[in-house]
Amino acid sequence: MNPLHDVLAAQIAASGPLPINQFMTTALFHPQYGYYTTQTVFGQKGDFITAPEVSQMFGELIGLALAQTWIDQGCPSSFQLVELGPGRGTLMADILRATKSVHGFHRAAHIKLIEASAKLKEEQQRALMGYNVTWVEDVTDLDQTPVFLVANEFFDALPIRQFQRIDDLWRERMIGISKGQLNIALGGVVSHPYLIERLKDTRDGDIVELCPSASLIIEQISDLIETHGGAAFIFDYGAWRSFGDTLQAIKDHKFANILENIGASDITAHVDFEALVSKNKAQHSAMTPQGIWLERMG
């Protein structure tokens, strides 16, 4: 057994089965044993490779798009250049390199990174040496000024809840324990307006997922942009509507069992883009009224 297995087993013994979002939070962000606390995440020596690690062109194009949007909005003299979950800082470094010749852009930009991992913050600091960077805890810590934001494969790491339809009722899928082994079990009946609506397009045994924190973050970003100006470019994997079990673990660039190697494997779920967009329902990407561009990559 690994240390996180014992931590989770103790939590379950003390308070009962854990919702999957609590399991994910512990597995990814436990201060001693969590994945983002202890592991080499990115690159050939890590568990996965994201677009910024493949080619600098990805970040450079995003940087130029951000700069053009800034120009289109009248070149605000002070704005927040924000990245959610900046990884090793590669994407922000590429954005800044591509925009260094855009007159006034760097002078106006206040770089702010939202990162939960102390280990990754150190890597970001090295990658962005020479720039004045501020780290904040979450979107609510941003100033009431224009915000130009990018998030690449951030929302897929946010903890989800899963619900399984049993006849015409919904029960939450939980992490329990049996004979010393963690397993997935069903909790009690849950009533939720979204789940009631999903009775129309699901059958007995089907699974749907909810990510409350994703919707909240999008709402907070939207409010900032709507009030103060700016834009957000969000890239992630997912589908238009949640359907089925998309929870997955990745270790050494291969799929793994989510209940094995806990804390040593990345755990993600597909993003429900419909839940993030309120009006403009395009199939692959959408611009919300608040100026957020969402791009589905898978």
Contact call for residues 63 and 95 (beta carbons, < 8 A): yes
Of the given ranges (14-18, 31-35, 161-165, 206-210), which has the lowest mean pLDDT?
Answer: 31-35
Higher pLDDT, 80 or 260: 80
Q: What are phi and psi of 146, to 5 degrees?
A: -55, 140
| pLDDT score for 182 | 87
Contact call for residues 290 and 222 (beta carbons, < 8 A): yes
**Residue in this structure with the two tokens 């429900």, named with its chain if needed:** 272
**Residue in this structure with the two tokens 């597909």, named with its chain if needed:** 270
CA distance 198 to 112: 38
And the tokens for 86? Answer: 């900046």
* CA-closest candidate to residue 153, choices 216, 112, 214, 111: 214
Q: What percent of the chain has pLDDT over 70?
A: 87
CA distance 69 to 54: 25
Tens-digit pLDDT profile for residues 64-105: 999 999 999 999 999 999 999 998 899 999 999 999 999 999
Domain ranges of the chain: 37-158+211-240+271-296
Average pLDDT over residues 5-24: 89
Q: Exposed (0-12), middle (13-18) or buried (19+): which is 261, by Cβ within 10 Å?
A: middle
And the tokens for 36? Answer: 């983002």
Q: Is the pTM of this model over 0.85?
A: no
Contact call for residues 48 and 250 (beta carbons, < 8 A): yes
And the tokens for 77? Answer: 């003299």
| pLDDT score for 29 | 84
Q: Exposed (0-12), middle (13-18) or buried (19+): which is 81, by Cβ within 10 Å?
A: buried
**Residue range 37-158+211-240+271-296, CATH number:** 3.40.50.150
